[in-house]
Amino acid sequence: MDTFVLHDNITCVIVRNIGYLGRLSMLALATAVRHYLHEVLGIPTPSVKPWARENELPYFLRDTFQFGEIELLGHSIVLAMVRTEQKQSLSEVRTWLHKVRALAGQPAVYVTDALASYERRRLIEQKIPFIVPGNQLYLPDLGLDLREYFRQRSPTAQSALSPSAQAMLITALLHQPWQAEWQPSTVAVALGYTPMTLSRVVKELTAAGLAAAYTVGRSRWLRMEQPPQQTWERAKPLLRTPVKRTVWVLDEDPMAKQLGRLAGLSALAHYSMLTEPRWPVYALSATEWKAASDAGLQELPEPVAGAREWQLWSYSPALLPGAATVDPLSLTLSLQGNADDRIQLALDELKGQLPW
């Protein structure tokens, strides 16, 4: 393994191994960091040796990262490379950086293969140094902020699933008790999809490698080869927010009180310690919105006192019958791009309540 030195204040580098050069070995990832820093800073880097203080870290950190130590320009840095492919939240990364920094007595530099725009903003707002090999470098201690282009996390070249395929997948993932084998026609009927839509959904899910199709008699079935959590993580890069647009209506309107499920920040507050938003948020399907508009419900040009926020979804917000809120997976997708730390922490709380 190889890496770099940056400054006497910067001693730890954490590398995530998802996507930048595919599923490379730890050595290849370290080499990628080394080459990038040499390219942009012109600093040669020696090889990495085992880090003597690794055993002083908590077990979960040693289980998550592979550590090494490097001497550069008279300063030692610690390289911690993630062992798994599962993406961690920035709140977790921040906590782990603090733990390693507390042991090393120096600030840490976070190195990852890709950053979404909201992740980059959060790191910069918190002045956490980070490096995206071959792409981006932010080192406030050195006064460096070099941006080339933003590489999105996209492990495959596949396009996003259609809203109907996304809705059927989420319904199957949240079904209790969990069933690895399920009949898509049953889900399609419950969601009001046509046989043509059903056929397309089956093709999408099998083409994406999320399920395998087989027949029993004259019935089509799908089999998920992985448990629900692993299937969800694999599917996330192909999923999109269900929110098409947002409208505002008067909360006092009788029709407004009859429609929608808690969504957005209102639903997230239901699942976490997040404070209720100023305006209640509900989700409606396109069909519900059209019916309300045809019945004379007026859309407000902007939010006012006594308003209610309506999210118009690309699929039904009622995937879980009888629930007061939208389903937790769709809720996560609708808010995952929000840069607010409080919201991201609340989403972490929600993640801990998923049924797997």
Confidence of residue 86 (pLDDT cuts 50, 70, 90): low
In b/e form, how buried is each residue of 49-71, taking b as 16+ CB within 10 angstroms? eebeebeebeeebeebbbbbbbe
Tell me, what's the pLDDT at 254?
Answer: 65
Q: Is 190 left (phi over 0), alpha (psi -120 to 50) or beta?
A: alpha
Q: Is the dihedral of CA 17, 21, 22, 27 positive or negative?
A: negative
- Please measure the distance between the N-terminal and C-terminal CA atoms of the chain and give it in whole angstroms: 36
pLDDT in tens, 240-261: 999 999 988 887 766 666 778 9
The per-residue pLDDT of the chain, averaged, comes to: 79
Confidence of residue 159 (pLDDT cuts 50, 70, 90): confident
Tell me, what's the pLDDT at 7?
Answer: 42
CA distance 309 to 302: 10
Share of the chain above pLDDT 90, in %: 38
Cβ atoms within 10 Å, residue 41: 17
Tell me, what's the pLDDT at 15?
Answer: 47
Sheet with 307-313: strands ordered across: 243-250, 307-313, 281-285, 261-262
- Nearest CA to 228 among 180, 182, 272, 263? 180
Residue type, 25: S
Report pTM. 0.57
Cβ atoms within 10 Å, residue 297: 18
How many Cα atoms are found within 13 Å in the side-chain-facing hemisphere of 181?
Answer: 7
- Nearest CA to 222 among 171, 181, 166? 181
Confidence of residue 96 (pLDDT cuts 50, 70, 90): confident
pLDDT in tens, 290-313: 888 888 888 888 777 878 899 999
